[in-house]
Amino acid sequence: MKAVLRILPRLAVSLLPALAPLQASTVPADFSPAAADVAQPKDLPAVGKWMLDPDLTPAHWLGEIHEGKPLREPINIIVIDRAADSAEAARQRLLQASAAAGYPPREGHSAGYFGYIGDALHRELPGGRHRALSDRPFEIDNNHGRLFGPYRHRDGYIFIGAFSREKVEPFEHIKHRFVSFNRARDDYADRMDRHTDFARSGWVELDNTLIGSAPAHTGDHDGIAVLLVTEP
C-alpha cells in the first residue's frame, strides 16, 4: 500500500448515498450507442468514448464552441479496482481515494451525466445535484470530473471518467471557460498515483479525438485515457 487514505475524506464520503447503475426501467428499451461512439480496448469491456448528457447524447462542454465547433467531452480516465469485494465497496473506495488525492465532491458543477461500459449505462459519481469531483471550488480555476461505474469485468470493477480544466472569468458574460482535457486528466491521475493505492498503469487508446471535418471538437484531448489500477 503506497498511502493510507486520510480519515476525514473517508468519513465525508461515507455519508454519500449509495449509487447504482442506471436501472433498465429508466433506459429506452432500444438504447444502444452508435458503433462509432464505442471503443473496444484490449482486455477491457466496451467503453463509450464520450460522457453522455441526460438525453444520452454525447455531452457538449457547457455549450462551449471551440474553434467554431461544439466542444465534446471525451472519456479520459479508466480505473480498475481489483481489491474491492462488491460494487458498493468499489464505489466508496474510489470516492475515498479521489478525496484523499484532493478531488472531493464539490458543489457548483453541472450534473446528470452518464457513462457507457460493457453493455450498460451508469450514473455519475459523486452524484447529487450540481456536484463533481474537483480540486478547487467552482468559483476559481479548477480541474473537475465525473466517474461512471462500476462494471464487473473478470477480477475487477471498472470505472470510466471524464475530467477537464476550466478557467473562471468572474466579470465576463460567460463565467466558465474551457482550458484543457489533458491537464485535468493528468493531474487527477498523478495525484491518485502519489496519494492512494490506485497506481498509473499505462494508457488506453480510445480513439476519441475529433479533428478535421468532424462535426465537433475535442480540444487538446489526444484520444487516450490514463489507466489507474489497484490490486488486492
Write out pLDDT tens, residues 42-77.
999 999 999 999 999 999 987 788 888 999 999 999
Q: In the chain, pLDDT over 90 holds for what percent of residues?
A: 71
Identify the burial level of 211 via C-beta atoms within 10 angstroms of its C-beta, where 0-12 means exposed, 13-18 middle and 19 or more buried: exposed
Q: What is the pLDDT of residues 112-159, one digit of tens each?
A: 999 999 999 999 999 888 899 999 998 899 999 999 999 999 999 999
Contact 189, 196 (CB under 8 A): no
Closest alpha carbon to 53 in 123, 104, 120: 123
**Banded model confidence at residue 10, pLDDT cuts 50, 70, 90:** very low
Residue, of 173 and 14, whose pLDDT is higher: 173
In angstroms, the CA 197 to CA 43 distance is: 21
40 found inside a domain: no
In angstroms, the CA 197 to CA 3 distance is: 6
37 found inside a domain: no
In angstroms, the CA 117 to CA 126 distance is: 17
Cell of 85: 469485494
In the chain, the number of structural domains is 1
Amino acid of residue 159? F
47 found inside a domain: no
29 found inside a domain: no
5 found inside a domain: no
118 found inside a domain: yes
Cell of 95: 470516492
Q: Reply yes or no on whether the pLDDT at 224 is more than 90.
A: yes
**Banded model confidence at residue 171, pLDDT cuts 50, 70, 90:** low
22 found inside a domain: no
Please tell me the predicted confidence (pLDDT) of residue 177. 86
Please tell me the predicted confidence (pLDDT) of residue 44. 97
Alpha helices in 26-130 (DSSP H): 87-100
Please tell me the predicted confidence (pLDDT) of residue 16. 41
140 found inside a domain: yes
Q: Reply yes or no on whether the pLDDT at 110 is more than 70.
A: yes
**Banded model confidence at residue 176, pLDDT cuts 50, 70, 90:** low
Closest alpha carbon to 203 in 165, 232, 229: 229
- Interacting residues of 100 by C-beta distance below 8 A, sequence separation 6+: 3, 5, 6, 9, 10, 195, 196
Instruction: State the number of CA atoms in the 13 A half-sphere of 138 facing the CB.
Output: 13
**CB atoms near residue 147 (< 10 Å):** 25
The boundaries of the domain holding residue 157 are 68-230
